[in-house]
Amino acid sequence: MAKDVIENEAKWIWSAGEKDVMKQPNGSRWFRKTFRLEKPSKEDIKRDLMLAVSRFSDRDFHERCYKGEFCCNVKSASVVIAADNAYRLYLNGKFVGEGIDFHDVGSYANVINLLKPGENVIEVLADNWDDSPNPAGLIVAFVIKYTDGRVVTFKTDASWTCATDKSKVFGPVQEFGAFNMGPWRLRSMQKELYPSFSYVASCVGMRPDHMGGGNVRYIHRRLDDKDIYFLSHRDDYLRIIGGAHFRVNGVKSVEWWDPLTGERRELPRWKYAHDGTVEVELELGPNESGFVVFSHGSTGMFKSMFSSIFTTKKSNFRSYGVLAELPDKWKVSFDPAWGGPEGEVEFKTLDDWTKRPEWGIQHYSGIATYRKTVTSKEAPTHISLGDVSNLARVKLNGKDLGSVWCWPWRVAVPEGTWKDGENLLEIEVANLWANRLIGDASLPAEKRLTRTTVNPHKPNDPLRRSGLFGPVRLEKE
């Protein structure tokens, strides 16, 4: 739907001024579109709160549903975007994605969780590179589908506003032309040549190969006596907890294979559903992936095909008790060779580096080490970091416990590593290099620490969230 809108309805736009599309001034522009979404009814809130409790364990999500702050009457929301030369897309202040080169048309199909009832804001930071006037343009299509079948579209046109700086007053834009206009002359986006298996199956009345809550993609392979499903959760914010259905038969056992740790463990809670599929209780965190592996036994298992009782009361999910939540006041050291301050810096709270007063920390790109001496009467089996941008390595008493770069941001503590009394915990956190590129863009060439053939960043670009955010906890399984 969004592809059709960008091709047939959206217009290339840029800031008002020079009329010739080939002679637009260089520099960055902020583009903005504000729109409103209707508030959900009490029935919508009640329905989606029940859905949230049954499928999601995210407490913030539950609170939003309870307060009516979640757009539960919206079924889907997608964005398609292109810019000459580059863009960074935000929805209600949350980063959605970025792209370089107008030929690379960006498509974002799952932004529903960033919407809210009432006023919403689409913002795009677009860049026009080069040292002299040249072609510049932005084209966007945003499509929202409601559960009752209604469709609402927002596309770039004269109703958008623009500013050279986000903090300044936004003014009018000018329209240039349609999706395929010169100098870009973009062709219609290629339609899907090979329909998905799910689509073909639905056409002949076959059950889907996999069904479950949330935005999950999957691949199904068969190897010897096993059916192997690789599941990939595409949501950045929510956890999924609930039953997932798989079109397999003759199941003897079900396992979860963790691609990060190589661990294999049994999933004891599964059953044959009334539609002939196998239902397995699963938990998937934000952007988590893994393998669900079905091993097959004799055909005698078919006698349980229509059972609605799970095979055991045991849980498929691991639970972690909190032994201690580590207090604030961490000592953090940065590398001075990459612009960080000399010596250790005290973080009274686990702040975002970009919110610190020190310029060198705001624009730091590299590794910083958090240190704290911790104690616990009981030895933990795991250490949870809470939240990190962008990856971390954990050391306990000098022993490397491993690296983490995604949810659940947890490392195991091997037996014998924890000592009675004081223990030294070190967490090395690394971020991306965009913040230093942005900082270097404001410095003369001889003072810059980074070098790249093309630096798409400007001094006033928004900095990327970086650091350790916690809460850091000592846990026992």
pLDDT, tens only, 252-281? 999 999 998 888 999 988 888 766 788 898
Question: Using CA atoms, how far apart are residues 20 and 369, in angstroms rounded to an integer?
Answer: 52
**207-221, 246-260, 443-457: which range is least confident on average?**
207-221
Smallest CA-to-CA distance from 182 within 102, 100, 125 is with 102
Q: Which range is least confidently modeled, 104-118, 138-152, 214-228, 431-445?
A: 104-118
For the whole model, what pTM was predicted? Answer: 0.62
Q: Which residue has the tokens 């020190």?
A: 358
Give 368's pLDDT tier (boundaries 50, 70, 90): very high
Q: Answer whether residue 337 shows pLDDT above 80.
A: yes
Question: What average pLDDT does the segment 12-32 reach?
Answer: 93
pLDDT at 51 > cutoff 90: no
Long-range contacts made by residues 215-220, C-beta under 8 angstroms, separation at least 24? 215/110, 216/240, 216/244, 216/284
More confidently predicted of 321 and 113:
321
427: pLDDT confidence band, cut at 50, 70 and 90? very high
- 237-274 burial, b if ≥16 CB within 10 A, otherwise e? ebbbbbbbbbbbbbbeebebeeeeeeeeeebbbbbbbe
pLDDT at 180 over 50: yes
CB atoms within 10 A of CB 145: 17
Q: Are 122 and 87 in contact (CB under 8 A)?
A: no
48 closest CA partner among 75, 13, 21 = 75
**Residue matched to tokens 């199909």:** 109
Assess contact for 52 and 66: CB atoms under 8 A. no
Q: For the chain, give the mean pLDDT.
A: 84
Nearest to 140 by CA among 7, 34, 35, 10: 10
- List of residues 6+ apart from 126 with CB closer than 8 A: 28, 29, 30, 31, 83, 86, 87, 136, 138
Work out the widest C-alpha separation in the chain, in whole angstroms.
77
How much is the pLDDT for 311? 52
Buried b (16+ CB within 10 A) or exposed e, 281-319: bbbbbbebbbbbbbebeeeeeeeeeeeeebbeeeebeee
Instruction: Please report, for residues 67, 71, 339, the alpha-carbon distance to residue 75 in angstroms, rounded to integers and kept in the order given.
Output: 19, 9, 46
Strand partners, 146: 74
Residue-level pLDDT at 302: 36
pLDDT band at 420 (very low <50, low <70, confident <90, very high): very high
User: What integer is the mean pLDDT of 406-426?
Assistant: 93
If one compares 327 and 141, the residue with the highest pLDDT of the two is 141
| Per-residue confidence (pLDDT) for residue 296, from 0 to 100 | 87
Cα dihedral 111→114→120→123 (10° resolution): -70
| Residue 79: predicted pLDDT | 92
* For residue 226, pLDDT beyond 90: yes
Q: What pLDDT is attached to residue 308? A: 42
Q: Which residue has the tokens 């045991």?
A: 314
Q: How far apart are CA 349 and CA 356, in angstroms?
A: 11
Is residue 242 very low, low, confident or very high in pLDDT (cuts 50, 70, 90)? confident
What is 2-38+73-177's CATH topology?
Jelly Rolls (2.60.120)
What H or E segment, with its residue span, contains residue 313? none
Residue 382 CB neighbours (<10 A):
19
Lowest mean pLDDT among 5-14, 231-240, 286-295: 231-240
Q: Do domains 2-38+73-177 and 209-304 have the same CATH topology?
A: no
Instruction: Specify the pLDDT at position 431.
Output: 97
Where does the pLDDT of residue 353 fall: very low under 50, low under 70, confident under 90, or very high at 90 and above? very high
CA distances from 301 to 49, 208, 271, 281, 297 (A): 37, 22, 11, 19, 7
Superfamily of domain 209-304: Golgi alpha-mannosidase II (2.60.40.1180)
The yes or no reply on domain 323-476 and CATH 2.60.200.20 is no
Going from N- to C-terminal start, the domains of the chain cover: 2-38+73-177, 209-304, 323-476
Kindly tell me if the per-residue pLDDT of 304 is higher than 50: no
What pLDDT is stored for residue 121 in this prediction?
A: 95
**Which whole number is the average pLDDT over 164-191?**
86
200 pLDDT exceeds 80? no
At residue 299, the pLDDT reads 39
Percent of the chain with pLDDT over 90: 51
Specify burial of residue 14 (Cβ count, 10 A radius: 0-12, 13-18, 19+): buried
Alpha-carbon distance of 290 to 232, in angstroms, equals 7
Alpha helices (H) in 313-364, listed in sequence order: 359-362
Q: Please tell me the predicted confidence (pLDDT) of residue 43.
A: 66
Alpha-carbon distance of 189 to 232, in angstroms, equals 25
Length, in residues, of the chain: 477
User: Taking residues 374-385, what's their average pLDDT?
Assistant: 94
- Partnered with residue 388 across adjacent β-strands are 468
Answer whether residue 330 shows pLDDT above 80: yes
Interatomic CA distance for residues 43 and 413, integer angstroms: 47
Q: Is the pLDDT of residue 57 over 50?
A: no
Mean pLDDT check: name the lowest of 245-259, 286-300, 382-396, 454-468.
Answer: 286-300
